[in-house]
Amino acid sequence: MNKKDKGLVWLQTNLRLQSNSSIEAAASACKSLAFLYILPEHWFEPTSWGFTRIGEHRLRFLVDSLIDLSHNLEKQGHSLCFRRGNPEELIPALIQEYGFDSLFVQQIYASEEQKVMKSLHASLKIPMHLSDDNYLYRPDQLPFDLQELPEMFTRFRNSVERKPLKGRMGKLVDLKQNLSFELYSEPFPELTCAAHPWFAGGESAGLKHLKNYLNSGHVRHYKETRNGMVDKEESSKLSPWLALGCLNAHTVLALLREHEEEEGANESTYWLWFELLWRDYFRLVAARYGNALFLPGGIQGKRKKMAFKKAVFERFVEGRTPEPFVNANMNELRLSGWMSNRGRQNVASFWVHDLGMDWRAAAAWFEHSLIDYDVASNYGNWMYVAGVGNDPRPNRKFNIRKQAEQYDADGRYQQKWANR
């Protein structure tokens, strides 16, 4: 490559300018750049469960994140091209029409994304440069081969923690040195649902929230408060920005390490690192097992007796079960696109173990609804609860009433959401 080249940067779940290795590589290699986001058309087609892959709350957070990215690019003299369609068709057509010399794209190891990458690799006649900044530990950085990934998280954690990470703050590339190559952009979807009051989409809001969370000192009590369900400060609330790559996990870790150096490490700051490791682990599980994440028996390949009854499912998602605690959580999800981690564990247990229903249906509803949806964490956690994933216990069943008494002792959460 040389500085005469025209580069196309295809953004997916790396919707940020800072610490973005695709953008860094493209800016250093090409004279002119175009930036592209494709909203997959099949996300709006009904699935076998009877609803679409993406709902209004998840779409709202995504669009707000794209608008923020577009504004940040404009400050650097560039623009974001938004298209709706199928990447396998749109990208080759754009390359042929505009004469791009190189494609820069994020490497995602989930099976559907890998299928798209293989299709593009086979059809394109220009170099496709893959970046790999979706992990704390990339597969090639592990102390073992990916195919030897431990089946239990604890063994994984014990192994990788022997090589401690500090995180890294990637640079914000000066894109003003590159010419802007503008493409025709479709308008962003018009949405009527309100944005969640806790979560404004985009890199700008994500960085602000991260710094406020660490500087406020709430992280120092994270382990004790993380199961809270009512107040924003009880847990980190970083997952929506991490899911879309508005924040890089390495940036979170770098700033966490800075906080520990200045204020001292404690059990809670370690626990935030612990949760980042869980996130990494589920991504590696997705890379290791591929399409098995979506099979009834999960990565364990179990024969599991399950059912799916539409009427039962409708009562579940609409918060009309016999359990007020479950109803409150499902109503919050339906009306806001958010649910706490404690809530997710309880409703998953209720759906799988109390109702005996197919875990994949509820996992798909989470995919439709959650503003922090990402394929690896969502399906990894659902397999975990269903006993077909990375858990040695076959029956991870919660006592819902006892959980409600423990985590909503004053009833504030249920009073807010149970009868919506």
What are the residue ranges spanned by the domains of the chain? 6-133, 135-169+202-289, 295-417
Q: Supply the CATH classification number for the domain 135-169+202-289.
A: 1.25.40.80
How would you write 128-179 as a 3-class SS string? EEEECCCCCCCHHHCCCCHHHCCCCHHHHHHHHCCCCCCCCCCCECCHHHCE
Q: Which residues of the chain have pLDDT under 50?
A: none
| Residue 143 vs residues 57, 108, 134, 160, 287: alpha-carbon distances, Å | 39, 21, 18, 7, 16
Whole-number Cα distances in Å, 207 to 63, 133, 200, 242, 400: 18, 17, 11, 11, 36
Side-chain half-sphere of 374: how many Cα atoms within 13 Å? 24
Q: What one-letter code names the amino acid at 203?
A: E
Q: DSSP letters of 241-253?
A: HHHTTSS-HHHHH
- How far apart CA 28 and CA 69 sit, in angstroms, is 20
Q: CA-to-CA distance for 100 and 87, rounded, in angstroms?
A: 16
Q: Is 135-169+202-289 the same fold as 6-133?
A: no
Q: Does domain 295-417 have CATH number 1.10.579.10?
A: yes
Question: In CATH, which superfamily holds the domain spanning 6-133?
Answer: HUPs (3.40.50.620)
Indicate the burial class of 179 (C-beta count within 10 angstroms; 0-12, 13-18, 19 or more): middle
Q: Phi/psi of residue 152, each to 5°?
A: -120, 140
CA distance 133 to 22: 9
pLDDT of residue 394: 64
CA dist., res. 107 & res. 218, Å (int): 33
Residue 174: CA count within 13 A, CB half-sphere: 2
End-to-end CA distance of the chain: 58
Q: Give the list of residues 6+ apart from residue 159 with CB closer than 8 angstroms, or none.
A: 142, 143, 144, 150
Nearest one of 308, 302, 284, 274 to 389, comparing CA atoms: 302
Contact 282, 363 (CB under 8 A): no
Of 367, 322, 312, nearest to 344 by C-alpha is 367
Buried b (16+ CB within 10 A) or exposed e, 297-332: ebbbeeebebeeeeebbebbbebebebbbbbbbbbb
Q: Is 104 helix (H, G, I), strand (E, B) or coil?
A: strand
Q: What is the per-residue pLDDT for 302?
A: 86
Which residues lie closer than 8 Å to 311 by C-beta, 6 or more apart? Answer: none
User: If residue 213 lies in a helix (H) or strand (E), which one and from where to where?
Assistant: helix 203-216
The Cα-based distances of 112 to 42, 82, 115, 119 in angstroms read: 12, 21, 5, 11
Residue with tokens 């990458």: 117
Continuous segment of H or E residues that includes residue 361: helix 359-369
User: With 0-12 CB in 10 A as exposed, 13-18 as middle and 19+ as buried, what is 420?
Assistant: middle
* pLDDT for 371: 98
Q: What is the structure's pLDDT at 395? A: 72
Name 150's Cβ contacts closer than 8 Å, sequence gap at least 6: 144, 156, 159
